[in-house]
Amino acid sequence: MKIKQKLIRTLVAATCLGALPALQAMQPMMGQTNYPGMGYASNGVYVVMAAPQGSSMILGGSVVATREVTLTAQLPGRVEFLGGREGDWFDNQQLVIGLSDDGLDAERRRALAQLGSAESMLRNRRVQYSRELWAPRSRDIGRMPGMGLPSMFDQFFTRGMGSNLGMGNPWLERQADLYGESAQIQQAQSQMLQAHSG
């Protein structure tokens, strides 16, 4: 098919070149000027030919891209800056797109607030644990009213007698309180680690 089309084109070109001297020898019709590179047929049809003088030609076309680059956003944000337009060249490490970091700043402030809260809770729990270690609540009977007299009576008689009769174990109560405070410290530490990772 391509060979046939090529053959037809060659024949048409040869026919046109063969008829060129005959067309150039023709005289212009009445009232028509003879321009170089133009011949006239008897029926008044203009025939365009190659001119021996310099000529200009306007060509049109389109460019087809051989490579395409797709940009995807790795972070959320609003586009604030575009470094160029479609088809522009960019150097290595040149800023192409600038994003607004308002959303990222808000997330950072929220994470820092959570971290500060978790650190504060951890410090509070450590203080509570130290207080329980050095001044246990299981021995604290001063929380009762009565200007200390009921607590003194309770410390000397009630607790001692209750312990001897098996009605309470101050050591066991103290260990339970220490364990509870230790668990609170571990919970505060895990919240702080969660705030660090988030």
**Domain range list for the chain:** 111-197
Tell me the β-bridge partners of 98. 81
Residue 23 pLDDT: 52
Distance CA 125, CA 184 (A): 6
Q: State yes or no: pLDDT of 132 exceeds 80.
A: no
Residue 107 pLDDT: 83
Structure tokens at 13: 């070109």
Collapsing DSSP states into helix, strand and coil, what is residue 79?
strand
Q: Which residues contact 97 (CB under 8 A, 6 or more apart)?
A: 71, 79, 81, 82, 83
Residue 195 pLDDT: 75
Which pLDDT band holds residue 160 (cuts at 50, 70, 90)? low
Mean pLDDT score of the chain: 71
Q: State yes or no: pLDDT of 71 exceeds 70.
A: yes
**pLDDT 10s digits, 29-47:** 555 555 555 555 555 566 6
Strands 79-82 and 46-48: unpaired
